[in-house]
Structure 1
Amino acid sequence: MIPRFNDHAANERTYLAWVRTAIAVMAFGFLVERFDLFITYASQNASRAAHKLHMHLRLTEWVGLLLIVFGALIILLASARFLRNRRDIAHERMEDYAGPVGEKLLAAILVLLGLFLVVYVGQELAALSSQPDM
């Protein structure tokens, strides 16, 4: 039997939860990056300036790329945390809890990105609904 197996198993479950979160963030980034297809389709039915459309397409690409990179960063940080905790459990050292700074930072960034997307999609829908029907 592995010494302190329950602690190692809890550490691994936490790591896998972070990896699942990172994969979801990266998948959402890919979806946002591909959101330009919806905007292009919707704009075909509305008379909008090409410059504004191009700006929105570039914006969704950058936000999507940012989310993909952010997801990869989450995996790197989660891996480092997993290995550090694994080492500490194996050496049976008592370490002070570092605090939830990383979790608070992750939550703040995701809330900001969510608010940005709500405003962005709201402006797009408002612009599309204000166009006269053809």
Structure 2
Amino acid sequence: MIPRFNDHAANERTYLAWVRTAIAVMAFGFLVERFDLFITYASSNASHAAHRLHLHLRTTEWVGLLLIVFGALIILLASARFLRNRRDIAQERMEAYAGPVGEKLLAAILVLMGLFLVVYVGQELAALGAQPDV
């Protein structure tokens, strides 16, 4: 029997949840990075709007790349946390809980990126709607 098996299993489940979250963030980053294809296709009838949007869509490429890098960073931090907790669980002495600072930081960054994307996509779609039909 593995000593403190329930604690080790809970630590592993938490780690896997972080990895799933990181994969979702990276997939969303890829989707955001490819969003310029949708906007370019949607504005194919208005060449002026398509040119203007293509210049500004580099922003979505950068945001997408940042989300992909952020997802990879989440995996690195989750791995370090998993290994630290595994070591702490195996020890007989009690350790103080570090607190949810990482989780709060992750949530804040994701909310800020979400708000940015809402404003950005809203502006781009409004620019598409403001173009006269040719």
TM-score of the two chains, using structure 1 as the length reference: 0.94
Deviation track 1:16-52 (CA, whole Å, cap 9, x = no partner) reads 0000000000000000001110111112122425653
Structure 1 CA distance for aligned equivalents of residues 40 and 96 of structure 2? 52
Q: Would the aligned equivalents of 2:53 and 2:124 in 1 still touch at CA under 8 Å?
A: no
Q: Would the aligned equivalents of 1:47 and 1:131 in 2 still touch at CA under 8 Å?
A: no
Structure 1 CA distance for aligned equivalents of residues 37 and 99 of structure 2? 42
Deviates more, 1:107-116 or 1:56-65: 56-65
Q: How far 1:53 moved relative to its partner?
A: 2.4
Q: How far 1:55 moved relative to its partner?
A: 2.6
Q: Would the aligned equivalents of 2:28 and 2:67 in 1 still touch at CA under 8 Å?
A: yes
Q: What is the identity percentage for the equivalent residue pairs of Structure 1 and Structure 2?
A: 92
1:28 is the counterpart of 2:66: no
Q: Would the aligned equivalents of 1:25 and 1:70 in 2 still touch at CA under 8 Å?
A: yes
SS in 1 for 2:47: coil
**Cα 1:132–1:52 shift into 2, 3 Å:** closer
Q: Would the aligned equivalents of 1:18 and 1:75 in 2 still touch at CA under 8 Å?
A: yes
Q: Would the aligned equivalents of 1:26 and 1:67 in 2 still touch at CA under 8 Å?
A: yes
Structure 2 CA distance for aligned equivalents of residues 16 and 68 of structure 1? 18
TM-score of the two chains, using structure 2 as the length reference: 0.94
Q: Would the aligned equivalents of 1:8 and 1:86 in 2 still touch at CA under 8 Å?
A: yes
Structure 2 CA distance for aligned equivalents of residues 28 and 80 of structure 1? 24
Q: Would the aligned equivalents of 2:18 and 2:78 in 1 still touch at CA under 8 Å?
A: yes
Question: What residue number does 1:70 align with?
Answer: 70
Structure 2 CA distance for aligned equivalents of residues 55 and 89 of structure 1? 52
Q: How far 1:72 moved relative to its partner?
A: 0.2
Structure 1 CA distance for aligned equivalents of residues 80 and 3 of structure 2? 22
Give the length in aligned residue pairs: 134
Deviation track 1:91-115 (CA, whole Å, cap 9, x = no partner) reads 1331111111100100000000000
Structure 2 CA distance for aligned equivalents of residues 51 and 44 of structure 1? 10
Gaps of 5+ in 1: none
Gaps of 5+ in 2: none
Measured on the aligned residues, the alpha-carbon RMSD in Å equals 1.3
Q: Would the aligned equivalents of 1:15 and 1:78 in 2 still touch at CA under 8 Å?
A: yes
Structure 1 CA distance for aligned equivalents of residues 22 and 93 of structure 2? 29
